Structure 1
């Protein structure tokens, strides 16, 4: 395959599984070349799968919790030599349990990945997009952003941060031709709950989680339409997001704790 194409370029982080993998598929299906990033070797398998579309796919194995991982990711984007039209900042992780019992390095690693890498890559991307007068930024938040997060305090706070960040960044860039969209999924059928050690919670054991392909499709469409935010998936997600936005925290917190508390 010719390494140089006239196709627009997209960057997708957290692309080895779940929503990120499905987002990468959306991009190639819509004519984008993609740089796909994850900290797992299977990102190379994802790249080979996506290349069947005929698009150029560049896999990057990087730990985005570190500045070195962010910088190597950006070096790969630069090396493609194509115009960067879109970024989907989707990499993230959860941790579960009572805050004082969670290892400190787990919480700090979550903040480094969910928050710092998002800000760092958004800074790099917008400094390219704004001078070009065009670009799309999709940031994966969560409906967890709209209410306190008992037994996932750091995770919920990180998603509140990136949602607020996306909204503020959108206003900053209003007249530049660059749009920013916050995607706020609900419970989705991915590896998230196993990785976050939430399989013994009511939330983790839910049977009707959303399909990541549906979530990615709706997120991609919202990004391309330049929408400010989207709650993809089921109507229940939109209802929960609406309730969480308006219900006083004193009422929302005990209700959420029933879903997120590890079972004895």
Structure 2
């Protein structure tokens, strides 16, 4: 069982760091005085300025698309031979509307960002951690992974993979000093809905979105404590619990009402 630690230290790699949960995770690591490598497919000027103010020991940024081999290799090149003490694999995005109405290139990009890129980084960095018998990984999954995601189908399905992957890898590493923790947020107040073209949905217009700072803090604490996972937010815990007992057909219908664009609602 992983021991509790008081704070992060050494080299911390954070993906999806340009905004939202990733930016909040970067703030927390900066306050601990870590060396940071921040990666995202969007400008990170704001995040870089914020973490400087919060006391990061050093900061490097890699702007690249982690859905691509070039983006992954750019990040690994920046890391070089340095041992990564903590990987916070937060990069990911969604895609709204009905599956068969989406463009394949957009579907593929979600899959390659959420699954391929995340899995590749965990492989490359996790392998080094196992060789050193030291290191911790936090992956941003989602309670959406437990819900058949009508009108957000590809995203939910990729998060189902991520959630299960974390638990399986944790088991494989149980006899080492390397731990993997899964952060499972629900609907959070980030740029997610704008990027996924889901602003005209019940979820996108919800007034009860979680604060990304609170979600990041929950994940950060799970990482410090070496927990297997954390569902952020009381109501999300309730929803996640019921997802295990409600029939999948009913869950899909519930998700449809939450994720289908309002202008398309005729049912």
Q: TM-score, normalised by structure 2?
A: 0.93
Aligned partners of 1:203 and 1:260 also within 8 Å: yes
Aligned partners of 1:33 and 1:55 also within 8 Å: yes
For the aligned residues, what is the CA RMSD?
A: 1.1
1:161 aligns with 161
Aligned partners of 1:10 and 1:33 also within 8 Å: yes
Q: Does 1:191 align with 2:224?
A: no
**CA displacement at 1:263 relative to structure 2:** 1.2
1:113 aligns with 113
2:50 aligns with 49
| Cα deviation 1:45-74 (Å, max 9, x = unaligned) | 322321221421111111111011001101
Matching of residues 143-158 of structure 1 within 5 Å? 143-158=143-158
Aligned partners of 1:189 and 1:211 also within 8 Å: yes
Whole-angstrom CA distance in 1 between matches of 2:111 and 2:56: 36
Structure 1 residue ranges (4+ consecutive) displaced by more than 3 angstroms after TM superposition: none
1:262 aligns with 261
Structure 2: which 5+ runs fail to align?
Answer: 1-8
1:4 aligns with none
Matching of residues 48-87 of structure 1 within 5 Å? 48-52=49-53, 53-78=55-80, 81=82, 83-87=83-87
Farther off after superposition, 200-209 or 22-31: 22-31
**CA displacement at 1:31 relative to structure 2:** 2.7
Aligned residues: 254
Whole-angstrom CA distance in 2 between matches of 1:26 and 1:73: 21
SS at match of 2:244: helix
Structure 1: which 5+ runs fail to align?
Answer: 1-6
Whole-angstrom CA distance in 2 between matches of 1:77 and 1:44: 20
1:122 aligns with 122
**CA displacement at 1:23 relative to structure 2:** 0.6
Aligned partners of 2:203 and 2:258 also within 8 Å: yes
Aligned partners of 1:147 and 1:245 also within 8 Å: no
Aligned partners of 1:134 and 1:178 also within 8 Å: yes
SS at match of 1:198: coil
**CA displacement at 1:176 relative to structure 2:** 1.2
Q: TM-score, normalised by structure 1?
A: 0.94
Whole-angstrom CA distance in 2 between matches of 1:46 and 1:185: 21
Whole-angstrom CA distance in 1 between matches of 2:196 and 2:99: 13
Whole-angstrom CA distance in 1 between matches of 2:97 and 2:46: 33
